[in-house]
Amino acid sequence: MTLTGGVVIDGLNIKKDLFYYKIPPFLVNKIRVGSKVSVPFGPKNMKVSAFLFTLEKKSSDSDLKEVQSVISPPLFNEQTRDLIFFVSKKFFIPLHIFVNKVLKGLSPEIYRRFVICTDPEKLKNASESFTGKKKEIAEFILSRKIIPVSVVKKRFGSSAERILKLFEEEGFIDRESVSEKYSLRYVSLNIPYEKLDQVLEDFSDKKLKSSAAALLARLANSNVPLREDSLRRGIKYGKRVIEDLIKKGFLISRQVGTDAGDGNRGKMKLSMICGLPLMERSERIISLIEKNSNGKTLIIFPELSVLRRVSGIYKKRFGDKVFIWHGKNKRKLIEAIYFKEKEIFLTTPFAMFVKIPNLKNLILENASSRYFKKTDFTPFDSIVVSVKKAEMEHLHLVFSTSVPEENIFYLIENGLLTGVMCDRKRIEYPRIRIVDMRNEFKKRNYKMISLALQKEIKNALKDSKNVALLLNRKSYSTFVMCRECGYVMKCPKCGVPLYYDKEQNVLFCHICGYKEKPPDVCPRCGSINIKYFSGGIQKLEEQIRKMFPDANVVKLISEGKSESIINSSEFEKTIFVGTEYLVSHLDLSDISVFGLVSADIFLNRFSFDASVETFSVISDIATEMGRKPFYIQTYIPEHFVLNYARSFDFRRFFEQEFEMRKELKYPPFGNLIVFSFLSTDKKQAEKSAENFKKAILTVPENGKNVYGPSPSAIQRKGDYYVFEVTVKSDNISPILRSKYIKALNTLKNVKISVEPYISVRESLE
């Protein structure tokens, strides 16, 4: 049997899990999970750095290469490793992709590939006959002699690799790995400032004394330990002097590690703060931190805009104990954890994968936000991952939210979330008015704004007050609705709205593929006023400008990608018009009237969780608006979501919602995994989806719970056609994941992605 290590290559973003290497005898007692190691990689056995994830004894394999050396002590511990494994497996993320996303920037050493011009004269002579990119790259290499491969590729694009390979074969260049290092060691003073002069008296050599004076001055001017390489940068004999001062006891050094005890005891504890505005919830969190002041607190935010809104409250109360991390430069986060005596961390979800010694509280702010679900930026569900982390590390996990989301309510119903901090007596229910748009149609008001809301807006503007209008419509959100009775065509199998395909004149379900012809009259009331729902933010803005020409109109949509907060108190006589982006980026404190232009767009999203998102959005707005008017326009005022949202009755809402979820085995009573296949060739996309379906039908636990392939609700993304295969499962099968990874690496001319809706049950098993 041979000791074998599974590693992730640092900086290699490929769709693969682990590479395996033999551990040589001289490293057996030195190497540990989390260590950074040097390994030979590729056909040329180039030296690369890698994270060690597994150590296990396996049958001897003579083909395996050997780990060459240990670069650093562990950068993460087994708990963090297991959390990374959990996310990778449950959310279908190849380890190399995920690890290099969450651990990027923690490495003390990385090998970078460089182009080295081995025969400049030969390349110069040959380049005289070159043209185009080939000539440009040759001249670029000749001007530099040694240059990172990444720089060449960035400057000259996709053709650079082919040309570099050609130069390599001709003997003009070679490509080698060169180690770039920086220290994991931090240095601080070990004597009072007033005794620094005595330290310098120990140096008889004037040059060394001068270097020591410069080093001590840097440390004296710093309130925190300094990383060794930063401390001695630009100072002659810096390394030698630092070692001498440490040996004499004038300086002390510490190294980033994961061996510090965290002091956690007992079991995971789950609590919730709900039903209050964001600022009031923050005050509750501060009180909680003060009561449990013997440990550290990690507060996770779904959006930087939310973090920025509350950061001042925490800074005012806790001062320098607060550290804010926006997700960049993980080294800063590590320094704050180990060397800057920070106790409260306001961060993005990725901080959950960095070990914080003595962590006691893990808090998810605005926990019902859809941005805590899997997104392009965050490839996992933060609710599910936070529960797993709390369970592994015995943390007090707190969900701070206007209203629970489905996984949180599932925890309540199963007796796991017991500390529900929700003082219903103190909740100020807003003046919600449900406007029946069917009556507006009968009154021949065909505008997007009801007569009652128009009147309310006029009165607000007359008093120079501000108004906010939300319309969360994208161009593809086309569903069929009766304007007389509010009936919406839905799939009889899946319960989601049918999408209208204008080209084929057909209604279809994007989950199971069910199709039917669009009706000429409403199946419920017989009306001919069938509406293919349309009208977006641009149309709303145009109508608002015509109806209220004297008002300032400000449009807030996500395309701007700004994280700044719009303070409504700085405006007057202004109408803010926007998508859901408006809710998180507009401070509603000085908004006198809020209008949800169409609740139906939220309620009829092509997703099983449309009701929960609608309930959450309404609750977020309602808690922030307090007793100020909040108008909700709809063609289906009797919808159970609107009835329960009006009184903030989340318990009865979820009881009714969960009846449908249980019957259809939707989360949190099962897992729903949607695989998307994209190609510029429509037939190829559909065929690839069909072949994948056949492959996963062989997995025993999938059984009959595989649906599709069917067109996506968004049938085209740019030049790509999209087809989906949907799987419902009680547990995530490792075989299903392996078939997805295989498809990722073998499909040609077809892109494949996955959207997993994972039940919180997975994190408790």
- Of 390, 423, 456, the residue at which a domain comes to its end is 423
pLDDT at residue number 285: 94
Residue whose token pair is 């199709």: 515
Structure-block tokens of residue 154: 């960035």
Q: How many domains does the chain divide into?
A: 6
Q: Would you say 567 and 604 are in contact if contact means Cβ atoms under 8 Å apart? A: no
What pLDDT, in 10s, does the model give residues 40-81? Answer: 998 888 888 899 999 998 877 778 999 999 888 788 889 999
Nearest to 457 by CA among 646, 629, 635, 634: 629
Instruction: Give residue 187's Cα distance to chain centre.
Output: 34
SS3 302: coil
Tell me: do 189 and 248 sit in the same domain: yes
**Residue 323, beta-bridge partner list:** 345
Q: Would you say 322 and 313 are in contact if contact means Cβ atoms under 8 Å apart? A: no
**Within a domain: residue 526?**
no
Tell me: do 680 and 726 sit in the same domain: yes
**Within a domain: residue 262?**
no
Secondary structure of 714-764 as H, E, C letters? EEEECCEEEEEEEEEECCCCHHHHHHHHHHHHHCCCCEEEEEEECCCHHHH
Q: Which residues of the chain have pLDDT under 70?
A: 105-112, 177-184, 255-266, 420-430, 473-478, 502-503, 510, 531-535, 559-563, 700-704
User: What is the DSSP code (8-state) at residue 580?
Assistant: T
Range of the domain at 173: 112-181
Q: Would you say 551 and 574 are in contact if contact means Cβ atoms under 8 Å apart? A: yes
Q: Would you say 727 and 673 are in contact if contact means Cβ atoms under 8 Å apart? A: yes
Tell me: do 360 and 407 sit in the same domain: yes
pLDDT at residue number 428: 55
- Report d(CA 175, CA 44) in Å as an integer: 10
Measured CA angle at 512 (ends 511, 518), to 5 deg: 90
**Within a domain: residue 85?**
no
Structure-block tokens of residue 328: 């960049």
pLDDT at residue number 476: 39
Tell me: do 466 and 564 sit in the same domain: yes
Tell me: do 290 and 386 sit in the same domain: yes
pTM above the 0.85 mark? no
Tell me: do 681 and 652 sit in the same domain: no
Structure-block tokens of residue 286: 């501060």
User: What is the DSSP code (8-state) at residue 565?
Assistant: P
- Of 140, 157, 181, the residue at which a domain comes to its end is 181
Tell me: do 467 and 616 sit in the same domain: yes
The stretches of 665-731 forming alpha helices (DSSP H) are 682-696
Residue count (the chain): 765
The stretches of 373-450 forming alpha helices (DSSP H) are 382-393, 406-413, 437-442
Tell me: do 317 and 348 sit in the same domain: yes
- Of 181, 205, 230, the residue at which a domain comes to its end is 181
pLDDT at residue number 477: 46
Tell me: do 375 and 312 sit in the same domain: yes
- Report d(CA 526, CA 517) in Å as an integer: 16
What pLDDT, in 10s, does the model give residues 317-353? Answer: 999 999 999 888 787 888 888 877 799 999 999 999 9
pLDDT at residue number 90: 95
| Cα end-to-end span (Å), the chain | 32
Residue whose token pair is 């962590």: 359
DSSP 49-60: EEEEEEEEEE--
**Within a domain: residue 511?**
no
Residue whose token pair is 């400049």: 120
**Residue 468, beta-bridge partner list:** 576, 594
Measured CA angle at 15 (ends 165, 158), to 5 deg: 35
**Residue 87, beta-bridge partner list:** none
Helix or strand holding residue 613 (H, E):
helix 610-625
Tell me: do 376 and 280 sit in the same domain: yes
